[in-house]
Structure 1
Amino acid sequence: MKALVYKGPETLAYEDAADPAPMDGAPVISVESVGICGSDMHAYLGHDERRPAPLILGHEVAGLRGDSGARVTINPLVTCGTCRYCREGRDNLCTTRQIISMPPREGGFAEMVSLPERNLVPVPDHVTPDQAALAEPIACGWHAVRMARAAGAAGPALVIGGGAIGVGAALSLKAQGIADVTLVEPNAVRSAYLKDRAEFEVTTPDAVPADGRFNIVIDGVGIEPTRAQASALVAPGGVIVHIGLGSSAGGLDIRRMTLQEISFIGTYTYTAQDFRDTAAAMFDGRLGILDWVETRPLSDGARAFADIRSGAVAAPKIILKP
């Protein structure tokens, strides 16, 4: 098969690769659409030791089952099903979790990928492969919102970052009953793009109201300046939900969080039930028309990564097509 292979920092090659060897009889999926995630970009820049070269990246996948031709979207998180966290329904915390695009599982920037049966969600005919591939990034936001609601938080809400994680979180907030949602995006090209399409308010970092209105702040970027902004803008008694993995240190105002009883929730991926719930919400239209993607051939993947790196891409998500 053909695949886009990570060779080292800022180096990708479109080349022949071995067909996937199914583990435990898992179905092989012919990839129709696969999204570029921020974590793929971290690996591409050489910032993720969990993804050593050479490796096929990509985990936001929709395609066709090789054994039946059925249309599916893929939950890329493979869990054991037996540990304490899996038994409690918190399988995203599984002690032996794996995800495609990290060893030992190759990713979806390829013509084929293999996942266990339980990781496949059927896709109805009215949903395109490009839309179905958005289930994974949106599920991250869906889970984050569910965590905030479980902590007792309600709107108004602020989302920091206009990539797919932030957009998915904003859509998930509205789908889960929070109507007053503002999204912050500093890139003028992307901000303009979102303002033409979004069902929520889009603004720039310097224009966010600093009046203590935001009971929920979701940081979809996860770097020191965005954590500082979240710390400053969350209301007393509010909740910061931290999805982004941009960097690991700095930014949080621990004194303010302590004095004003602000909760901080770190969140990684989603449970299998969150993924299914996200897919259901997508399929019945509760997350909008999902038209905020740009598509390119997988063979042009190296250029797509470079364009994202330069800030030249307006759409929150680039979908690659094998």
Structure 2
Amino acid sequence: MTSLAYTTSTQMQVPTWVWWLTVGLMAAVLLFDVFVIARRPHVPTTKEVSGALALYVGAAVVFGLGVWWFTHDQAGAKFMTEYYAGWLTEYSLSVDNLFIFLLIMARFGVPEKLQQSALLIGIIIAIILRGIFIAVGAAAINQFSWVFYIFGAFLIYTAVKLAREGEGDDDEYEENRFMKWVERRFPATQEYDGAKLFTKIDGKKLATPMFIVIMALGTTDLLFALDSIPAIYGLTKEPYLVLTANLFALMGLRQLYFLIGGLLKKLVYLSIGLAVLLAFIGVKLVLHALHENELPFINGGHHVEAAPDIPISVSLAAIVVILGVTTVASLLKTRRDEQAAASS
């Protein structure tokens, strides 16, 4: 029996049919979601979203075990650890996305029963855009080892920026330039027409607010992908693991939105925690770039052997600790604030 993925020089060699099977299964799940939600727009119950989220998380965990099973020996454990580290990182960054999604929904007054449709289409756009980013990132890494310097520096810059923003209270969604152009280019009605993106009024075709909302969700996730794709490439160089970690992180995002919408406001240290996480991965990338250095103006173009290469097991442990401490500290802070407010 042949393995779905085998290893050569500690690199995954994934057969083409496995790629197509993975993409096909994910597309089938999304199409099923689209079909069900399009037929019955509604506000999902807690039981409904909890069950679906448990299914997606369970599938992600089982997939990681499958990576270990179908790759062999120590290499299998390495790839499994890389996948879990990437998945946890992408999931944690996606949680940060949810806060922006909440602001977008509030900004455009999306009716509750239509929010599922908006999120689903926005997630499909995000998957397509991230797929392009992943392919470009893989090509860049294969051709230029120095791209890790750029990725690392960008993540450290993003971490500093995120930490500073986390110190304030930004409860308003600020449209980017592209969204302002979209609103000028596509005149929209003031009223929603179900989940339709366009409608006709007096024979004139106009965009609905739903179209604007979906574009806002898609472009916002694209901006987040500028952080998340370099971050996951700092944990694994395997495009297949990068793709699947992103897919599993995004697949349960809609359910997570409805399940922890209120909880997000209690994660007061989320931005700081994610800043620490991105800074850690940024430093890891820079150290790896030094270890693989080929730039002539650094160490004469030779590898900097003294630069430590942080093992993936250490990275996974650091990710779990950072996210755990962030969550516990946030909930304790919120609880103290609520008790103080109640007593006063």
The TM-score normalised by the length of structure 1 is 0.26
Identify the structure with bigger relative contact order (alpha carbons < 8 Å, sequence gap 6+).
Answer: 2
- Structure 1 or 2: more helix by fraction: 2
The TM-score normalised by the length of structure 2 is 0.24
Which protein has the larger Cα radius of gyration, Structure 1 or Structure 2?
Answer: 2
- Structure 1 or 2: more strand by fraction: 1
